[in-house]
Structure 1
Amino acid sequence: MEMIFIFIIYFVIGLLASTLGAVAGLGGGIIIKPVLDLFGHFDLPTIGVLSAATVLAMATMSLVKFRKKGHKTDKVVSSILAVGSIFGGILGKVIFNIIAISLNMPTVTGFIQSATLALLLTLIFIYFIKKDKLTSFVFKNRLIILTIGFILGFLSAFLGIGGGPLNVTILILLFSMNAKNAAINSIYIIFFSQLSALILIALTTGFSSYDLSMLVYMIIGGIIGGFIGSSIVIKMSNTQVEKIFNISILVIIFVNIYNIVNLLY
């Protein structure tokens, strides 16, 4: 009975994170990572795998839904960002593995992740409050776009978050997309970054050393969440998407702060 309850909890985590992730372009990893940190059932490398697999399932379902409904992504910008994020993600994962696994410093890594994430999300939240007063840009140089994607991929892989909030913010600030289009394009980028992260693990360490007992339940939640979230966002306005994004970011900031306090004490 207790195990069934645990299965349900992890299914619900995957479902809710993926639904919010698909609606606001968050991806879901930004929610899954701090929540699983909070539960403390798995080590950091395992959390990274669970998060990546769930987010990939969500992104796949969302993209299928968007395609059927005729919602197109800016494939030129998003594809270049995705390529950059793949290479950046490889470097980010390598550095994460060195610190968390090779040097065996999971507590230090967890603290760096939570503190960096809390800081980045706070800056993103402030940006969205002030963004109407700030200038947005339209970058067209492909090398610059590739470099931006590399940085996004590096941060996302090291922090284990899938990159959603960073993607959305950059797409609005540097490519002048509205919140809804940024959310949809963010899912496109996330699909490739998470796929590459899992392929990298498969080709290097393999999955045998990870505790993936909750993987199936979280992936099922990710698929259903991707379907629900993508169905919702299609019907929403830019303002509604933005509000959900801001509320989600604020909640995640507080969860990360709580995790930092737990690590310190």
Structure 2
Amino acid sequence: MYFLIGLSASLLGAMAGLGGGIIIKPVLDLFGHYDLATIGVLSAATVLAMATVSLIQVRHMDANVDKKIGLLIAFGSILGGFLGKGLFNFLLNQVNSASMIGMLQSGLLAIILAIIFLYVRYKGLLKSYQLYSKGIILSVGIILGMLSSFLGIGGGPLNVAVLYLLFSMNAKNAVVNSTFIIFFSQLSALALIAVTEGFGDYDLSMIGYMIVGGIIGGFIGSKLVNKLANVRIELVFNSTLMMIILLNVYNLIKYIL
């Protein structure tokens, strides 16, 4: 089951630049087998495997990684990730209720994803931009990293929406650049845990199955995205996003009841 979760999440994540964490987090939250911190580690490891395989395939794809923009956002995401992780730990200690934090995450995630869904659905009616300021791009990365780390989602849909809006990228370029950013953000998240608290307190018995699923899903997804037209990629993105919104709403109701 955990292999299939890693496989399906990474397949959709690689195809639409979602990363996979946006799917893994609410699905594992729904099952309730692991606490929120462990879910974050399982998700980060799976997504890192997916992103690594996907980026290896980029040279064969009809899309380009903008390393200048990608590295600035990625570096900002790493800084923001520290802030988001700190905020998560602070609230967890203050509230002392994983259920309350889970409810907050599910509610915020449903709202943010609904906004992204509407934007991508109607972005043709809205103006897009092309940012060049390094300071602003870095600040965008910090905000993305903080939100992604706090919500435990890897940042995929947030990255894609920002790349559409602020850098006028098409769907394929947004997918590969989002994956590029995700790679560094997830690598830094796992490295931070490794050098601070370590992994000894986490139940990672299923991590191997999920990583294998992430590798296979990343390989297949990156092959498919190269064959799909931009409009098809956006359809996959929006369809997956709607499914995740409904799942988060269900999780929110479950926490409330």
- Is the structural similarity TM-score above 0.5? yes
| 1:63 aligned residue | 55
Q: CA deviation at 1:28?
A: 0.1
Task: Provide Cα deviations, 1:93-145, integer angstroms capped at 9, x if missing partner.
Answer: 11112223575321111011100100000001111122111000001000000
SS, match of residue 223 in structure 1: helix
| 1:3 aligned residue | none
1:29 and 1:161 in contact (8 A); partners too: yes
Q: CA deviation at 1:218?
A: 0.2
1:162 is aligned to 2:151: no
**Gap change, CA 1:101 and 1:47, over 3 Å in 2:** farther
* AA matched with 1:131: K
| 2:169 aligned residue | 177
* 4+ residue runs over 3 A deviation: 68-71
Q: Percent identity?
A: 59
Q: Return the match for 1:24 from 12, 16, 34.
A: 16
Q: Return the match for 1:112 from 91, 104, 107.
A: 104
CA distance in 1, matches of 2:150, 2:93: 13
Q: Return the match for 2:191 from 168, 178, 199.
A: 199
Task: Provide Cα deviations, 1:7-57, integer angstroms capped at 9, x if missing partner.
Answer: xx0000000000000000000000000000000000000000000000000
2:47 and 2:154 in contact (8 A); partners too: yes
CA distance in 2, matches of 1:90, 1:170: 20
Q: CA deviation at 1:69?
A: 4.3
| 1:225 aligned residue | 217
| 1:42 aligned residue | 34
Q: Return the match for 2:229 from 213, 223, 237.
A: 237
CA distance in 1, matches of 2:201, 2:216: 28
CA distance in 1, matches of 2:200, 2:93: 15
Q: CA deviation at 1:71?
A: 4.1
**Gap change, CA 1:27 and 1:113, over 3 Å in 2:** same
2:42 and 2:207 in contact (8 A); partners too: yes
2:63 and 2:172 in contact (8 A); partners too: no
CA distance in 1, matches of 2:12, 2:227: 14
SS, match of residue 94 in structure 1: helix
| 1:262 aligned residue | 254
1:247 is aligned to 2:235: no
* AA matched with 1:52: A
| 1:81 aligned residue | 73
SS, match of residue 57 in structure 2: helix
* AA matched with 2:41: V
| 2:89 aligned residue | 97
Q: CA deviation at 1:67?
A: 2.6
1:44 and 1:100 in contact (8 A); partners too: no
CA distance in 2, matches of 1:199, 1:224: 23
Q: Structure 1: which 5+ residue stretches go unaligned?
A: 1-8
SS, match of residue 26 in structure 1: coil
1:213 is aligned to 2:198: no
Q: CA deviation at 1:242?
A: 0.2
Task: Provide Cα deviations, 1:202-241, integer angstroms capped at 9, x if missing partner.
Answer: 1111100011011000000000000000010011110000
**Gap change, CA 1:255 and 1:150, over 3 Å in 2:** same
* AA matched with 2:78: I
How many correspondences in the alignment? Answer: 257
CA distance in 2, matches of 1:105, 1:200: 24
1:99 and 1:106 in contact (8 A); partners too: no
CA distance in 2, matches of 1:198, 1:17: 19
My pick for the range that moved more, 94-103 or 143-152, is 94-103
